[in-house]
Each structure stands twice: as C-alpha cells, then as structure tokens.
Structure 1
Amino acid sequence: MIIATLVAAGRLTKESLYSAADRLEDARFKAHEWSWIDEGSAADIEIQADPSKIAQLRSLLEGSIPETDVIVQPGEGREKKLLVADMDSTMIGQECIDELADYAGKKDEISSVTERAMQGDLDFATALVERVASLNGLNIGAIDRCRADRVRANPGARTLVQTMKRRGAMTLLVTGGFHDFADPMAAELGFTEVRANYLESVHGRLTGKVAGKIVDATAKCAALIEMRDRLGLSKDAVLAVGDGANDAPMITEAGLGVAYRGKPKLLAAADARLDHNDLTALLWAQGIPRREWVRD
C-alpha cells in the first residue's frame, strides 16, 4: 500500500482531497478513502499501487493543489527511527558563514560563493576553503555575537527533533558549517549527535583555515551510513532533510529524503519536497498527529 500525505497547515479542505482522489482515479490508480491526520491541515490517501509507481504518483499529485506539500511513500515503515538533518537554511534560517562574514565586512562577496556552492555550481570543499580564508584575522568574539544576534531555528525544527526523540528515534545534525554554531544549535533543538567543521584560531583570531577534514557532501552521506549501520537500521528507517546540492548524496541514501526549500539539483534527487509548510510537516509525513507532538 502507498500513502500520499497532503499537508497544507490550516488550509487543507475536503474539496482538495476529493480533487486529489479524483485525479488518481482518472489516472487509473485505485485510491481508497482518505483520512485526516489533523483536520484542516494534513490527510492521508491510501493508494493500491506497487512501490515502483511512487515517482509517477508524486508527479501526478505535486502541484495539483495550491500551497500544498505532497509526500508519497510506502505505508509500511513510514515512521522513521533516525533523523539526519542539514543545519544552514534547513534547521536554521541562515547561512552561518555568510552572517559571520558580515562582521568582517565581507558578507556580499561570501554570500555569492555560498549560493553557487549550494546550487552545485562550485565544489563545496573548494568553496568552503575560499570563504573561510576571507575570515582571516576576525576576532573569535564575533562568533558568539553572530550566534546570539542572528542565528535562529526554522519554524518547527525543535518540535520535529523533540517529537522524534520522544518516540525513540535517534537524531544527527550534519553540516558543512561549523561546530561553533552547530553544537549550541544541536543542544537547543535536541539532536543526539553532531558532525561539522572546525574553524582554526590562534590567539583569539581566526586564521582563515578549516581545521581537520572538511565535512562535504561525501562526509555527510558517510555520517548517515555510519550512524544507520551502528544502530542496525535499514535504509527505509531513515529520514534525511536538507536544502543544497551538497545534501543530495545523503538524501538519496535515506528511505525518505526531503528537500526543504530545496535547490534544483537537490530537488532532482529528493523523494519529497517542502515548499509551503514548516518542518512539522515531516511529522505528518510519518502519520504523527499534532496531539502527539512535543511542543516548544
């Protein structure tokens, strides 16, 4: 059995669900009665189809209802046991290196490089080295100021992490950003483990270098596989979410890989996309109703 979850928080109507069911029937898919997960916000449509038809079903339903996100997946194992998430522009609303660069008066030039790297137009590791080099000489006190003044969790991030943890899932924050930002954010949101880069500093100032091996797309994917295998989980038990092209390998390695406000190269690799709703949509995607969420 395949489940199509339609999410439009506070604006999902019965008429929209009937329309989606009719669209399936017109395409010769047998759709069973739909059911609310949370009335007016999220609902499931059960579809009698082979898993090989998921991509076709997704193409059929995505965009059919305005401002609605659609997640199509096998019904079995939809609640995941491991969450792997990117940080910048996914769990948080900022790109930390861009915000930190502002304290060095270089935000515009670094932001343009960041965008090209996230689009997949530049090698991530090369772009990171270039951007960090621009921070040479910056007082490390700027990191704490930047984190306190500018870095904020995206809506629904803490609820997603805390709810999955309460239900027994493990959680991994994996980022091409820096431990200086990732560790406090992981603690705030409730992540179990963190993988990130280290900014090198000497005598209270950044050297413009990354210390140690860079966490790039390959390292992100490897971290997911390592934690999944350590926990003895199958691929289907993993939910991964990110936004940039460097998240594509880990997204494809997950049972449900989601692009959150994703760049085009990530959208091409993802199993689902969140364009309209916040991160709590990933709880509805797992069939978890609002009454069971852990609220901030």
Structure 2
Amino acid sequence: HSIRRLSRRIPGSDLADLDRNVEGEKPIEGNHRRPPVCLEFQVGGRDVDFSALKETLLSATSEMGVDIAFQKDDLFRRNRRLIAFDMDSTLIQAEVIDELARKAGVGDEVSKITESAMRGEIDFNESFRRRVGLLKGLSAEFLQGIYENLPVTEGAPHLIKVLKSMGYKTVILSGGFTFFAEQLRKRLGMDYMFANELVMADGHVTGEVREPIVNGQRKAALLGEIAEKEGVRKEQVIAVGDGANDLPMLGMAGLGIAFRAKPLVRKEADQAISNTGLDSILYLLGYRYEDFPA
C-alpha cells in the first residue's frame, strides 16, 4: 500500500506528524529544493489493520489542511483509461441552476424546492422538473452570459491535457444542462458529455427538460455504457464528483474520488481531495510532478 500526502507545501513540522503516524517509514519521493506537493510513503507488514491505519490518517486531514490518500499498489494504479467528472462544483466552481435562479430573481423559490427534496418530501427528478420550471422565459443570450462567467476549477485544464496526452478518454456526466456542459467539453477538449437538455422555443427556455433526466443512477449507467463502448474494464475507470448524486458512479468506478465534497461523499468515496486542485489527481495515479507536461 502507499500513502500520499497532498498539499500546497509541506512544512517540516508536518513531516514529524506523519512520522509519528507511520513509525519507521520514510518518504520515497520529495524534492527539498522547492516545496513539494506530494510525499509518498510505502507501507506494509504482517497483521496490519489497513482500515484502522487509513482512518487514523484521514482524521488528520482537516486539522492539518492537507489531503492524505491511502491506496493499494496494484496493476491498475497506473493503468486507468477512462475518467468521468461531474460538472457543477467539480469541473467548475459553481452550481449552474443556482446561478441561473439567482440572476433570474427566483433563487429563494429554487432553494425551497431543493430543501424539500433533501427532506425526502419529493424525489430528485420531480424537484429538478420544478426548479427548471422556474427558469421559463430565460433567453439563450442570458444563458450564454452565465456560461461566460463560470469559473473553471483550479487544475482542471492541466489535468485534462495530461490525461489526454496519456490516452485517457474523458467524460462529463452532469445533472446540469447541456447548454453549459457542451461548451465546457469543447473548451477543455474532452471526449464525451451527457447532461440534461433544456427545451428551447424561439430562443427562450420553455421551463421543460427532455427526458430521461440525468440523475445519479443515470450517471452510473452512462459511465458503464461508455466503458463498455471503449473496451475499458471497471478497474480502469475513475469517477470524480462532489455530491450525493455522484455516489452511484463513484461506487461503480475502479477509483472513486470525492472532490471538495460533502461529508457523506468524502466518507463513501475511495479517495477524497479537499485542499488542492483537480490536477493533484495525477498523484493518485502514481505520477510525479516531473512527469507532468507544462
């Protein structure tokens, strides 16, 4: 197994903390002439409770402001071939439907529907339809203005560029809207995009969405279909997301990564990244800083 400590810089005091947690081990990677982003430890031995070790290490992440990844070193660590991302709050640092509602003056109404769904009073699909209904009348020009101000997540363009250079297929699987996701796919040079399509008439949103709705189960099903089409094994699939509706695809992937996610998602996912950019995922795949093209 390997332990990777990811952060923007690694003070010496933090190394001492890690030494106390992994007694007798030492980093096998690290360039001390500049602040490293990743330190890697190899751990093993007989009668080791790896679950307990992982729990101990992860408990330190919030306090130290770092990410600690505990992984099994196996054939698939550097042999992944397909990666899928949620869009909202993952590839971009915004929730598009909230941005649309806020700018359209219906933010409070949309929030009430969202809260009702979270309480289990209505299911996701119905809540989604109701929220889209409140967007009726918005123009394509209005939507474009929202898109042009969406902030792309730190490290996303670099990550996609590196993965594409290594032959990965890259996918957006979003519960958001195709209007935004397709433009982002083209901007980042990604291969596939699936999201919800707003029905438009005369250049304006009708308040309807085309079926089927891309919810959590649909994301997982689509990811399986893409993997089959590309001839990729489940173990070679990576999924990255932040919300509860990403859990199905995170669970079906060989490596599920919670990115700046809700507590439940961080707990359930194979790995969690909360303090660094998206391109730190490359370290989880066994690559070093020196391996990354500029």
TM > 0.5 between the two?
yes
Amino acid paired to 1:17 = L
Question: Does residue 132 of structure 1 match 2:128?
Answer: no
Distance in 2 between residues matched to 1:43 and 1:115, nearest whole Å: 41
SS of the residue corresponding to residue 173 of structure 2 reads strand
- Give the number of equivalent residue pairs: 286
Cα contact 1:119–1:265 (8 A) shared by 2: no
Contact (CA 8 Å) 1:248, 1:266: kept in 2 or not? yes
Separation (CA, whole Å) in 1 of partners of 2:85 and 2:203: 31
Deviations 1:55-97 (A, max 9, x none): 4332111143601101111112223211111000001001111
Quick one: which of 64, 84, 100 aligns to 2:60? 64
- Aligned residue for 2:92? 92
2-side partners of 1:113 and 1:55: how far apart? Answer: 39
Q: CA deviation at 1:195?
A: 0.7
Q: Structure 1 residues 107 and 49, CA, compared in 2 at 3 Å: closer, same or farther?
A: farther
Match of 1:247 in 2: 246
| Alignment match of 1:74 (pick from 72, 75, 78) | 72
Q: Cα offset for 1:115?
A: 6.8
TM-fit CA distance, 1:202 = 1.2
Aligned to 2:103: 103
Match of 2:176?
Answer: 177
Q: Where does residue 222 of structure 1 map in the other structure? A: 221
Unaligned runs of 5+ in 1: 26-30
Corresponding residue number in structure 2 for 1:28? none
1:274 corresponds to: 273
Distance 1:94 1:129, change over 3 A: same
Q: For structure 1, which segment, 233-242 or 207-216, has the greater mean C-alpha deviation from structure 2 after superposition?
A: 233-242
The alpha-carbon distance between structure 1 residues 120 and 288, as it changes in their structure 2 partners (threshold 3 A), is farther
3-state SS of paired residue (1:154): coil
- 1:147–1:269: structure 2 CA closer, same or farther, 3 Å change rule? same
Structure 1 residues 159, 179: CA separation in 2 closer, same or farther (over 3 Å shift)? same
Q: Deviations over 1:166-200 (max 9, x none)?
A: 11111111000011000111111221101111000
- Aligned to 2:84, what secondary structure does the other structure show? strand
- Structure 1 letter corresponding to 2:55: S
Residues 202-217 of structure 1 correspond to what in structure 2 (within 5 A)? 202-217=201-216
Query: Matched residues, percent identical?
Result: 31
Name the structure where strand makes up a greater proportion of residues. 1
1:99 aligned partner, one-letter code: E
SS in structure 2 at match of 1:191: coil
2:43 — aligned with what? 47
When structure 1 is superposed on structure 2, of 59-68 and 166-175 the one drifting more is: 59-68
Matched, 1:12 2:5: no
CA distance in 2, matches of 1:230, 1:23: 44
Name the aligned partner's letter for residue 71 of structure 2: Q
The one-character-per-residue Cα deviations of 1:190-223 (angstroms, maximum 9, x if unpaired) are 2110111100011222111101210000010111
Distance 1:164 1:22, change over 3 A: same
Q: Determine the structure 1 residue equivalent to 2:21.
A: 23
The 2-side partners of 1:45 and 1:271 are apart by 18
Asked if the contact 1:119/1:245 (under 8 Å) is kept, the reply is no
1:14-44 deviation digits (Å, cap 9, x = unpaired): 553353243134xxxxx65322266521011
Structure 2: distance between partners of 1:127 and 1:280? 33
Q: Structure 1 residue 294: deviation in Å?
A: 4.0
Could you list the runs of 5+ residues in structure 2 that have no partner in the other structure? none
Per the TM alignment, residue 121 of structure 1 is displaced from its structure 2 partner at its CA by: 8.4
How many angstroms apart in 2 are the aligned matches of 1:120 and 1:61? Answer: 34
Q: Can you list the C-alpha shifts for 1:240-273, whole angstroms capped at 9, x where unaligned?
A: 1101100001111112211111113322321111
Residues 3 and 75 of structure 1 are in contact (CA less than 8 Å); yes or no, is this contact kept in structure 2? yes
